């Protein structure tokens, strides 16, 4: 690219300048401090002055009693959210797209993506008012039907489902926006031709709508696979307690306790690097797989 081309597109480069500087300062420069994963970090000695420890903290994490439990919970919640949230977002997007009542469509869309803007602190308060064993709305209904109240948030069998469905409730509407945008790009003549042939609404959805947005679906799944070890720290941190720790504790909450509460920064950084490597490998694998299966990929 020559100087003439740069001058021609100078407005674009000016717009890119601030984001690039942001990523350099707040993303790439801090990566230099990632070396403390291989050092026995001492705050008084600093990052560069701390002695090297090799792979000691990686081995400590891998040999930890909680390692497989953390992996199971983290991957289980991530895949559960992926399997539940993406199909629900697609269904919601298709329903809104097919609706001919504009007012109703706007109301439903607003109500479904509004929870995305609420913090998990507020969501926890809402869930507590619904699920509390004493005066929760759901337990009030259970008692009215003659049943015994259930302590949902301290029950190891109920807690995982609460995590999955509360996440779907919070993020389903926001995720649907991406698919609605993809649906708006479908050629209307395809639907008109299908209607002339006498197809039903379900057939048009299955044979036109879903195949047309398949590249977007693949893209969304790929991006989510890259963060498969991020099961949602804020959500779990707000919802979990010692009674459900065996099914609630994920890598991020464990790192929070080890890194911040116990000041074991080297161990926390080692786990962060481990997560980054696994995420990169998963994205590369999923990209190659979808290129073969769906003829669509990120790169």
* Among candidate residues 201, 16, 212, 167, the one with its CA nearest the CA of residue 95: 201
> 3-class SS at 269?
helix
Q: Looking at residues 24-43, what average pLDDT do you find?
A: 88
pLDDT at 159: 92
Mean pLDDT value of segment 26-48 = 87
What values do phi and psi take at 194, rounded to 5? -65, -35
Q: Confidence class of residue 131 from pLDDT cuts 50, 70 and 90?
A: confident
CA distance 286 to 214: 15
pLDDT at 21: 92
Residue 236 reports pLDDT greater than 60:
yes
The pLDDT of residue 298 is: 62
pLDDT for the residue numbered 296: 62
Mean pLDDT score of the chain, rounded to an integer? Answer: 86
Average pLDDT of 177-181?
A: 88
160 band by pLDDT with thresholds 50, 70 and 90: very high
Average pLDDT, stretch 198-226?
83
The closest alpha carbon to 20, from 28, 31, 8, 11, belongs to: 28
Most confident of 35-39, 139-143, 189-193, 259-263: 35-39
* Digit-coded pLDDT (tens) for 81-126: 999 989 999 999 988 888 888 888 888 888 888 889 989 999 999 9
pLDDT value of residue 293? 63
Own/partner pairs for 219-224, CB < 8 Å, 24+ apart? 219/296, 219/298, 220/86, 220/175, 220/178, 220/179, 221/82, 221/86, 221/286, 221/290, 222/283, 222/286, 222/287, 222/290, 222/297, 222/298, 224/78, 224/82, 224/86
Instruction: Answer yes or no: is pLDDT of 1 > 60.
Output: no
pLDDT recorded at residue 80: 92
Give the pLDDT confidence score for residue 294 in this predicted structure.
Answer: 62
pLDDT over 70 percentage in the chain: 97
């Amino acid at each position: 690219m020559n100087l003439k081309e740069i001058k021609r597109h100078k407005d674009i480069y000016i717009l890119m300048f601030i984001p690039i500087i942001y990523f350099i300062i707040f993303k790439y420069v801090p990566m230099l401090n990632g070396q403390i994963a291989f050092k026995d970090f001492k705050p008084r000695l600093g990052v560069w002055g701390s002695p090297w420890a090799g792979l000691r903290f990686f081995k400590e994490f891998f040999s930890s009693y909680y390692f497989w439990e953390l992996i199971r919970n983290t991957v289980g919640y991530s895949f559960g959210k992926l399997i539940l949230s993406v199909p629900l977002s697609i269904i919601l997007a298709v329903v809104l797209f097919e609706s001919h009542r504009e007012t109703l469509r706007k109301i439903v869309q607003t109500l479904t993506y509004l929870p995305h803007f609420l913090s998990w602190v507020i969501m926890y308060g809402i869930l507590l008012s619904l699920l509390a064993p004493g005066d929760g709305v759901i337990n009030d209904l259970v008692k009215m039907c003659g049943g015994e109240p259930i302590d949902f948030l301290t029950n190891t069998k109920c807690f995982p489902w609460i995590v999955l469905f509360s996440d779907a409730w919070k993020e389903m509407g926001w995720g649907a926006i991406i698919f609605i945008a993809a649906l708006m790009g479908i050629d209307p003549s395809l639907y008109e031709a299908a209607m002339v042939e006498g197809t039903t609404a379900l057939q048009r959805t299955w044979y036109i709508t879903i195949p047309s947005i398949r590249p977007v679906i693949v893209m969304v799944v790929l991006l989510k696979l890259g963060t498969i070890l991020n099961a949602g720290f804020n959500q779990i941190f707000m919802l979990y307690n010692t009674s459900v720790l065996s099914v609630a504790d994920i890598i991020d909450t464990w790192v929070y306790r080890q890194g911040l509460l116990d000041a074991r920064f080297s161990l926390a950084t080692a786990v962060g690097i481990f997560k980054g490597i696994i995420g990169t490998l998963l994205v590369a694998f999923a990209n190659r797989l979808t290129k073969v299966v769906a003829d669509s990929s990120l790169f």
